[in-house]
Amino acid sequence: MTPSQIELVQDSFAKVAPISDQAATIFYDRLFEVAPQVRAMFPDDLTEQRKKLMATLAVVVNGLTNLPAILPAASALAKRHVGYGAKPEHYPVVGSALLWTLEKGLGDAWTDDVAQAWTAAYGTLSGYMISEAYGKAQAAE
């Protein structure tokens, strides 16, 4: 990721943060719409899950300027997700739902540059998480 991409991700997330609960609701609605099979991995009441999602995103987004500092937490998160039933093929679906959510939440502020920046950020983190949880061969697929 370039410094300008990091800035775009951080600036755009700052615009979504004030509507974090609504954004998290949109995200999970979209995720379960496109991948209903993952619904069973989540509690019936998503209140706490939505808070965890937005808190985790905030840590990651704020940590993009010092990626090595957030990688241990990303590794631990990835390994925990294995226990929940997450598989490598779920990561692109989650990424798609996240980008869709950001597009809806940002409206006109969702530009091609912002989309590319978020795609790069998600690709970097998800690739790392997959390699940590499932091995380097899975991350390359």
DSSP per-residue letters across 52-75: HHHHHHHHHHHHGGGHHHHHHHHH
Is the confidence at residue 89, as pLDDT, over 80?
A: yes
* CATH code at position 116: 1.10.490.10
According to the model, what pLDDT value does residue 136 have?
65
Angle between helices 90-106 and 3-16 (to 10 degrees): 70
pLDDT at 128 over 60: yes
> Is residue 22 pLDDT above 70, yes or no?
yes
Domains in the chain, number: 1
Domain of residue 80 covers 3-140
Per the prediction, the chain carries an average pLDDT of 93
Q: How far apart are the first and last CA of the chain?
A: 20
**88 contacts 34 by C-beta, under 8 angstroms:** no
Q: So what's the pLDDT on residue 135? A: 86
pTM tops 0.75, yes or no = yes
Residue 38 has pLDDT above 70, yes or no: yes
pLDDT at 39: 95
